């Protein structure tokens, strides 16, 4: 069984810090107010903005060393991305979990679609769900960990390379993000 804290550590630096995105508003640790306005961390950020910056602007990429805010970030990702979207505790291989968690945190629904396609190519007819990984998809991942990992790495790189959503600079950055993970699995149960 994979461990959330290990997966989180692979992704936290890539999804960290504050940004007031012109198109989406406040974003902290990859959590965007436009999409998750009820996240309690935004209230905590307002408190920190008052305490630290006297109501002035929070600098871009600022990471707060605040236990309350850090717990809110962890709870958000553990519940939604690790728990609901990918059911990470059911995946046997930690390297696969790290990779899938990072992809789902980065591109949520697009990532789930890519993951589903890879698993269905490996076992046609596998039941999929649009907004999370089904138990059937997880069964394929656990049954063929080495093959699945090779295919999902290639599919993720292909997704970034062929998407019209991203500029050339972003595509290069996303490729670097993928390349921080192992090329092949070496520790398979």
Question: Domain count of the chain?
Answer: 2
- What backbone phi and psi angles, to 5 degrees, belong to 155? -65, -40
DSSP string spanning 8-34?
HHHHTTTT-SEEEETTTEEEETTEETT
**H or E stretch including 73?**
helix 67-76
- Digitized pLDDT (tens) for each residue of the chain, 189 residues in all: 899 999 998 888 778 789 888 878 899 998 999 999 999 999 999 999 999 999 899 999 999 999 999 999 999 999 999 999 999 999 999 999 999 999 999 999 999 999 999 999 999 999 999 999 999 999 999 999 999 999 999 999 999 999 888 888 888 889 999 999 998 887 766
Residues 61 and 96 in one domain: no
Tokens of 25: 């508003």
Residues 92 and 69 in one domain: no
Residue 186 domain-assigned? no
Categorise residue 57: left if φ over 0, alpha if ψ from -120 to 50, beta otherwise: beta
32: domain range? 4-82
Residues 99 and 173 in one domain: yes
Residue 189 domain-assigned? no
pTM of the complete model: 0.91
Residues 51 and 110 in one domain: no
**Last residue in a domain, options 82, 110, 135:** 82
């Amino acid at each position: 069984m994979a461990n959330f804290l290990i997966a989180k550590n692979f992704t936290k630096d890539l999804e960290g810090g504050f940004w007031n995105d012109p198109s989406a508003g406040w974003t902290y640790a990859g959590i965007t107010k436009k999409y998750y306005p009820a996240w309690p961390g935004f209230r905590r950020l307002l408190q920190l903005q008052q305490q630290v910056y006297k109501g002035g602007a929070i600098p871009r990429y600022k990471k707060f060393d605040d236990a309350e805010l850090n717990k809110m970030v962890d709870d958000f990702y553990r519940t939604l991305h690790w728990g609901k979207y990918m059911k990470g505790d059911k995946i046997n291989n930690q390297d696969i979990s790290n990779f899938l968690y990072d992809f789902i945190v980065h591109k949520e629904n697009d990532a789930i679609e890519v993951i589903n396609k890879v698993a269905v190519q490996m076992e046609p007819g596998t039941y999929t769900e649009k907004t999370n990984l089904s138990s059937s998809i997880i069964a394929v991942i656990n049954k063929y960990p080495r093959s699945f990992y090779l295919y999902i790495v290639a599919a993720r790189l292909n997704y970034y390379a062929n998407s019209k959503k991203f500029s050339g600079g972003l595509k290069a950055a996303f490729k670097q993000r993928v390349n921080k993970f192992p090329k092949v699995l070496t520790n398979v149960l």
